[in-house]
Amino acid sequence: MTLDQILIFLPAAFLLGASPGANNLLAFTSATKAGWRPAAEGVIGRLAAWVVLVVLVSLGLDALLRTSEMAFVALKWLGVAYLLYLARQFWTADVAAEIEVPDASTLRRREFMTLMGNPKAYLLLTAFLPQFLNDAGPVTLQLFALGGLYLVAEGLAALLWVSAGAALGAGVLTPLRRRIVNRTSAGLLGGAAILLARSEKVAA
């Protein structure tokens, strides 16, 4: 992996990490309720999930997902079920009641489970990272190095969503605005679940 490859990889990784998705939506919404610090701590759960994924991909999980229909389908529907669960939680939230502030451990768990249940995250690692591998070096070590750089980019991108949510803040959310935010969040999570349900296993 050359310096030129790294200079190309980091901006691309940041843009991928900053793109709208289930985890970034969670980070944004969590920050409006809990504030910047708890939501930022919640991102640790997402980064922990990425560490797990990088290790699993380096050990060959990508080959299993590409060749085993059962493994891919099981993982996919687990992710769909969890996204629909979160969507229902947002949709049915009582906007008239006092805002429930989730603690950091809850936010970490939500971030972790959302990412681990999304096979597109696995496919991102198996399709994106290999483009920056150098044939001259050990593949496993390069995957770990690229994975580490991706974690940095993902973390910085997530903090942008957290900062945006914290800037909005719960204080300016009237019951009507809270309902709009919750229903929009539920709709986006439900849409993510539908897209995930329609995803297909890439050819081996």
pLDDT digits (tens, 9 = 90+) for 93-142: 776 665 667 788 999 999 998 888 776 677 677 767 777 777 777 777 88
- Among 59-63, 90-94, 196-200, the least confident range: 59-63
Label residue 202 by pLDDT band (50, 70, 90). Answer: very low
CA 74/CA 77 separation, integer angstroms: 5
- 204 pLDDT above the threshold of 60: no
Tokens, residue 87? 């969507």
DSSP 97-144: SPPP---HHHHHHHHHHHHHT-HHHHHHHHHHGGGG--TTS-HHHHHH
Which pLDDT value is given to residue 173?
64
Q: What is the DSSP letter of 202?
A: P
Which pLDDT value is given to residue 170?
61
Tokens, residue 44? 């640790």
Percentage of the residues of the chain whose pLDDT score is greater than 70:
81
202, 79, 54, 155: CA torsion to nearest 10:
120
Which pLDDT value is given to residue 119?
65
Label residue 183 by pLDDT band (50, 70, 90). Answer: confident
- 147 pLDDT above the threshold of 90: no
Instruction: Compare 39 and 192 and report the one with higher pLDDT.
Output: 39
Nearest alpha carbon to residue 70 among 116, 26, 36, 119: 119
Which pLDDT value is given to residue 152?
92
Mean pLDDT (whole number) for 35-54 = 91
Q: What angle do CA 9, 62, 67 make, to 5 degrees?
A: 140
Give 3-state DSSP helix, strand, coil % of the chain, rounded to 5: 80, 0, 20
Tokens, residue 9? 């990889």
Which pLDDT value is given to residue 6?
81
Label residue 203 by pLDDT band (50, 70, 90). Answer: very low
Which pLDDT value is given to residue 17?
84
Which pLDDT value is given to residue 7?
83
| Burial (0-12, 13-18, 19+ Cβ within 10 Å), 164 | middle
CA 7/CA 2 separation, integer angstroms: 9
Task: Please tell me the total number of residues recorded for the chain in this structure.
Answer: 204
